[in-house]
Amino acid sequence: MRVVLPSIERPKKLPVVLNQNEIRQLLRTPKLLKHRLVLAMLYGCGLRSFEVRNLQRRDLDFDRKMLHVRQGKGRKDRYVPLSGMQVRGLKKYLLAENPVTWCFTGNDRTGSPAQLSSQGVQWIVREARRHSGIQKEITAHILRHSYATHLLEMGLDIMSVRDLLGHADIQTTLVYLHVAQSGRQRPFSPLDRLYGQ
């Protein structure tokens, strides 16, 4: 039996993706636990910027190691797994900061705690990149691209990746097949075979 995949039009511009060492470097850069956790949620759960901002304490299920993403793009809910590292970090952060509603807060114009702003998320990502020494462009969405690509490279199937990202259309997810270094045989340079590296 032959499996025929749908033909996909090659995207004009492929997304920027960080490698795993760059992700590790970026995640350990911020001094504040809150900033490290925001980066860990963007990458480790593949969240969009507004989804991180909308996270509430009630969305965290530490026993099941799951995160309930409410009203993502297209007003769709979904569940994504939390890593053990995220659970430990979030527990420590929540104990220290004790936010009332939103997981991550900033300050409003009066200095009172408020939902983290989109500028706040951008600032966290920009400062982490600046201090990490990574030369690639890094945005919240590039961390989401890296999440999807790394999951495919680690062997997760495309349909599961689509569900985790909350994509309505598989065509949107298929772009990551052009970026991921996976498949029947991992791509290589002929120079590696010529010189036995």
* Residue-by-residue DSSP string for 91-160: HHHHHHH--SSBSSEEE-TTS-EEEPPHHHHHHHHHHHHHHHT--S---HHHHHHHHHHHHHHTT--HHH
Q: Which residue has the tokens 């939902």?
A: 115
Query: Is 92 part of the annotated catalytic residue set?
Result: no
Say if 133 falls within a structural domain: yes
What is the reported pLDDT for 197? 57
Provide the CATH number for the domain around residue 24: 1.10.443.10
| pLDDT(187) > 80 | no
Query: Is 35 part of the annotated catalytic residue set?
Result: no
pLDDT tens for each residue of 141-169:
999 999 999 998 888 888 889 999 988 88
Query: Is 144 part of the annotated catalytic residue set?
Result: yes
Q: Which one of the listed residues 35, 53, 144, 162 is annotated catalytic?
A: 144
Query: Is 2 part of the annotated catalytic residue set?
Result: no
Q: Which one of the listed residues 70, 78, 126, 141 is annotated catalytic?
A: 141
Say if 167 falls within a structural domain: no
What residue type is assigned to position 148 of the chain? A
Query: Is 73 part of the annotated catalytic residue set?
Result: yes
| Residue 57 CB contacts under 8 Å (≥ 6 apart), including other chains | 94, 99, 100, 101, 102, 103
Confidence of residue 46 (pLDDT cuts 50, 70, 90): very high
Say if 11 falls within a structural domain: no
Q: Which residue has the tokens 């659970």?
A: 87
Confidence of residue 51 (pLDDT cuts 50, 70, 90): very high
Q: Which domain holds residue 81?
A: 20-143
- What gap in Å lies between CA 189 and CA 128, rounded to an integer? 32
Q: How many domains, the chain?
A: 1
What is the reported pLDDT for 103? 94
Say if 2 falls within a structural domain: no
Say if 121 falls within a structural domain: yes
Say if 131 falls within a structural domain: yes
Q: Which one of the listed residues 73, 76, 91, 92 is annotated catalytic?
A: 73
| Residue 95 CB contacts under 8 Å (≥ 6 apart), including other chains | none
Query: Is 48 part of the annotated catalytic residue set?
Result: yes
Q: Compute the mean pLDDT over every residue in the chain, rounded to the nearest whole number.
A: 87
Q: Which one of the listed residues 35, 48, 53, 162 is annotated catalytic?
A: 48
Say if 14 falls within a structural domain: no
What residue type is assigned to position 165 of the chain? L
Confidence of residue 1 (pLDDT cuts 50, 70, 90): low
Residue scoring higher pLDDT (94 or 13)? 94
Give yes or no for a contact between 35 and 124, defined as CB atoms under 8 angstroms apart.
Answer: yes
